[in-house]
Structure 1
Amino acid sequence: MLEYSPKESWRPVEANPLLIPISIIKKEGGEEILYSTWIYRHGKGKFVRVYDSPYVNVDYVLSLPEKLSTLGIGIRIRNYRKLNEFKMILPNFKIGVFLGKNNVGKTSILEAIAMLDPNNVNKVREFRGRISNQLAETKLYLNGEYYTVEFSDTLASRIKDAKVLLIYPRDNITAINVDPSILHKVTDLMNRFDPNIFYVYLSAGNEIRVLFNDKTDVSINELGYGYKSLLNFILSYVVYQPKIILIDDLESFTLHPELLKRFYDFLLKLGVDLILITTQSSDVYAYLAEKRSDNVRFVLINDGKYEVLTSEEY
């Protein structure tokens, strides 16, 4: 992202979650990663080590303050499904909507990022049947933080975990472990979508139920799928408190248009660092484009290439 061309490294240091690497080397065998040039955040400033060569490009060094101030979101994925050497350098935004034809890798991008959180390993495996039969790698730069993971069906080695919530189409709500005490907050959030909801609670049989103002009391399994998807999402968010949210195939939520618009408002106000959505539905991206928000970008993906558009451009 900083357009640095590394030379033979001098005095590399051990990988550390507090450092953002610009270039790396690997010891013999490739198991241990060392950082040869790196960024260290300290207070409001940043310390950069780029002297890994006797031939220092002075113009490059002097350009670093500007480069660092404009650094946005960086995603790099290697050897995961169709993403052999995939890199995205994106501006800062809160919600990114991935658009593209079938089988261009939209879901794979979300899954590769999800692997930064160990809680998603089994989820990806169950949805896909397997993770990867070769060693894959994901790197993410977000809000000044650097995350990386190497993973396969039998391995997952991370430098700094990210709290990532991955939502697949038709996720099963019964898989969530719910503490009854958090259902007060779930009720408050659901009220934003339907003020007729009086209380969301856990029955004696450990079943999630919804009590409405008219005293109607129903199991979550008796709700329409749109409500069920919404409740599943809110429960997952409140239970896990993620920094990154990944929603695959948002149209599978089957939300009514008015509910979908309110859901967008809800997402824009969430206290998270990044939300990435994949979709094929014109309704899903058209309503979000109407927001004309600087916090929203549309990413068009095709054959390993991508284009980033604002709401107005889209």
Structure 2
Amino acid sequence: MLKTLTIENYRCFKNFSIKNLSRINLIVGQNNIGKTSLLEFINSLDTNNSILISVNDDYLDNIEKNWDLIQLTPKEDKAIKALQIINSDIERIGFTVSQYPKQIKLKIKGKDQPIPLSSMGEGMKKIFGLIIRAVILENRILLIDEIERGLHYTAQTDMWRLLIKISQNLNVQIFATTHSWDCICAFQEVLEDREDKFVGKLFRLDNKYGKLRAVAYKFDELYIAVNQRIEVR
């Protein structure tokens, strides 16, 4: 667990110590509570140790600069292995150099010519952007606002598997907000398949008597809520 995270100034989590937080912390709340709280949370962090992906961000923004930090290092292999969780036939990643803007290309097993990442859909572009940011954030914190935005619900289970593996391998702690029931269900499904079910935790944010509070859901509570369709947002 990261020791660089301080939450004393984060009022939603004031009742939780660092040992109560997991590798993956999914934050849900009504209306704009989640987004507001995430922004407050960022203000309590050392920004040198964290990156925020906001809802309006282009996940491929600065991708070439970020890739330069990874290319020809052990992290490049980790990025490729992470992509292979989504598509096991991906062998290599490259960029075109003869056109602008540059294209991201993937070498696929059994194919002579690389294919553009864009041909695999918007969901893959978002997942690739998540991978690159997570890989360069070793030993730090990644914050993602509305993590399900632009990602089809059928891909969200793979996304959670991917983020859990990256967070464990690289000691990255992830905080994400969502208002999506499908996203919550996918999160619960991935935790259910894991031996260590404490790697992820859901926090529900709400206002009670004018005060914002965070309510933590243990895995068994989240399992019951999802399977009995008990609203947690």
TM-score (norm 2): 0.70
Cα RMSD over matched residues? Answer: 2.8
State the SS of the aligned residue for 1:294: helix
How many residue pairs get matched?
A: 193
* Residue 213 (structure 2) aligned to one of 305, 308, 311: 305
**2:15 is equivalent to residue 89 of structure 1:** yes
In structure 2, what is the Cα distance between the partners aligned to 1:218 and 1:89?
A: 49
Larger radius of gyration: 1
**2:127 is equivalent to residue 230 of structure 1:** yes
* Larger RCO, structures 1/2 (Cα 8 Å, 6+ apart): 2
Deviation at 1:265? 2.3
Aligned-pair identity (%)? 17
Equivalent residue letter for 1:74: I
Deviation at 1:99? 1.0
Cross-structure match for 1:274 = 173
TM-score (norm 1): 0.54
Which blocks of at least 5 consecutive residues in structure 1 are unaligned? Answer: 1-19, 21-71, 78-84, 116-137, 141-146, 148-160
Cross-structure match for 2:62 = 175
Query: Greater share of helix residues, 1 or 2?
Result: 2
Equivalent residue letter for 1:200: I
In structure 2, what is the Cα distance between the partners aligned to 1:74 and 1:252?
A: 26
Equivalent residue letter for 1:98: I
8 Å CA contact 2:12–2:214 kept in 1: the answer is: no
CA 1:239 to 1:268, structure 2 compared with 1: closer, same or farther past 3 Å?
closer
Cross-structure match for 1:122 = none
CA 1:92 to 1:306, structure 2 compared with 1: closer, same or farther past 3 Å?
closer
* Residue 264 (structure 1) aligned to one of 144, 160, 176: 160
8 Å CA contact 1:95–1:275 kept in 2: the answer is: yes
In structure 2, what is the Cα distance between the partners aligned to 1:202 and 1:228?
A: 14
Deviations 1:237-289 (A, max 9, x none): 223435111111111141452x4223222222323252111111111111222
* Residue 212 (structure 1) aligned to one of 105, 108, 116: 108
Cross-structure match for 2:87 = 194
Deviation at 1:198? 2.5
In structure 2, what is the Cα distance between the partners aligned to 1:88 and 1:185?
A: 35
Equivalent residue letter for 1:181: L
Deviation at 1:208? 2.0
